[in-house]
Structure 1
Amino acid sequence: MQDNSDARDEGVRARADLLTALVLVGLGLVVIYLSWTMPRLEARRIHPSTIPGLVPFFLGIGLAFCGGLLALRSWRIDAPGGWQGLIGLFRTREALRVGVILALALIHTLVLVGLIPFWAAAMLFIFAFIMVFETWLSNGPVEPLKSALWALAIAIVGGGGIYLVFERIFLVRLP
């Protein structure tokens, strides 16, 4: 019985690797294209070996190549029940947690940053992250008021610390 379970787990990992490889190849190709279309700055007499897109271009090639190797390897693995097992993983509590993290990060990046000052966006992200994971996605019972106070304190210190460190100490303009 143990051998069958190991074979199933290997099949699930092989199919997960295949999906990951396809994403990596796609990302590598996008990086290659975007770095190729970057300005070359010939008008400023910039030497071709120092163009802004050179390093990302080679990194994109490496990413696409390694993703292709991973895809080839995972495609060749016999994976009976691999797709069904992989789909089953997306129905777990861990997958829900990863999805929530992704959603919060996208809301922070695509909606809040630029709409409100960065320090405020960071505070809202930190507060929401702590509240969601301490109350809604926690493993045990929690006191919502205690979690809210704790999250508010951490959000204020974290958002203020981000502002202080980057804007005032490192002199980096935040969006």
Structure 2
Amino acid sequence: METQADTTGSPPAADRAEPPAMIKADLLAGLFFLVLAAATFFSAWTMDRLEARRINPLTVPGLVPGLLALALFVCGLVLTIRSLRTAAPGGWTDLGQAVTTSAARRAGAVLVLTLTYALLLVGLLPFWLATGIFVFAFIMTFETWLSTPRRPLLATMPWALGLAVVTATVVTLVFERLFLVRLP
């Protein structure tokens, strides 16, 4: 008996298999999402329910974050179980090699810069200054340290500074004047 050829143009099932490193990355991501969902749900559950003000229970402040936490928990659980059920020989070694690539360094730099901005600079400094420092540091990091080929430091500084000043000014004015948001 002759089998029919695959006319869909998709690769054979063996070619569609996930790399072992991605399976292990999915496991770590799934566990991270489970922890994040649990922390978010706990925070939503402990929010003030405003019973003293006779607020409808369906409009309490923690309802939407709690529901989102439950959805995130389900997604994290599915991702974790799926990755645990899939064989991944050599996956941890492959994941370790993937984490040391230039793309991973760039992603790590974005994570560090963004978290520094959100958790440290905003609130400690005026918003316009924190935003200017963030934009300047971001441009300098990606243009001089992480770009290929690297651009000269002194040539990058003037336009990074100019872009940081313009961005901080425009963002601050738009939020304060147009959206009427009081910035930290």
Q: TM-score, normalised by structure 2?
A: 0.88
Instruction: Kindly provide the amino acid, as one letter, of the partner of residue 117 in structure 1.
Output: P
Indicate the residue corresponding to 2:21 in structure 1: 12
Q: Is the 8 A contact 1:8 1:79 kept in 2?
A: no
Separation of aligned partners in 2, 1:130 and 1:80 = 39
Q: Is the 8 A contact 2:24 2:91 kept in 1?
A: yes
Q: 1:131 aligns with which of 140, 159, 180?
A: 140
Secondary structure of the 2:123 match is: coil
Matched, 1:66 2:68: no
Structure 1 or 2: larger helix share? 1
Separation of aligned partners in 2, 1:27 and 1:115 = 25
Indicate the residue corresponding to 2:48 in structure 1: 39
Q: Work out the number of aligned pairs and report it.
A: 172
What is the CA-CA distance between 1:57 and the residue it aligns to?
0.9
Task: Say what the alpha-carbon RMSD is for the aligned residues.
Answer: 1.8
1:151-166 matches, within 5 Å, as: 151-166=160-175
Q: Is the 8 A contact 2:143 2:150 kept in 1?
A: no
Q: Alpha carbons of 1:9 and 1:169: their partners in 2 closer, same or farther (altered >3 Å)?
A: same
Q: 2:126 aligns with which of 117, 129, 134?
A: 117
User: Cα deviations across residues 99-155 of structure 1 (Å, max 9, x unaligned)?
Assistant: 222111122122221221101100000001101111111101423222111101110
Q: TM-score, normalised by structure 1?
A: 0.92
Separation of aligned partners in 2, 1:50 and 1:141 = 52
Q: Is the 8 A contact 1:134 1:147 kept in 2?
A: yes
Indicate the residue corresponding to 1:93 in structure 2: 102
Instruction: Kindly provide the amino acid, as one letter, of the partner of residue 47 in structure 1.
Output: N
Any unmatched runs of 5+ in structure 2? 1-11
Secondary structure of the 2:19 match is: helix
Separation of aligned partners in 1, 2:56 and 2:18 = 51
Any unmatched runs of 5+ in structure 1? none
Separation of aligned partners in 2, 1:73 and 1:114 = 40
Identity in percent? 49
Separation of aligned partners in 1, 2:177 and 2:37 = 36
Q: Is the 8 A contact 2:133 2:164 kept in 1?
A: yes
* Greater Rg by CA: 2
What is the CA-CA distance between 1:92 and the residue it aligns to?
1.4
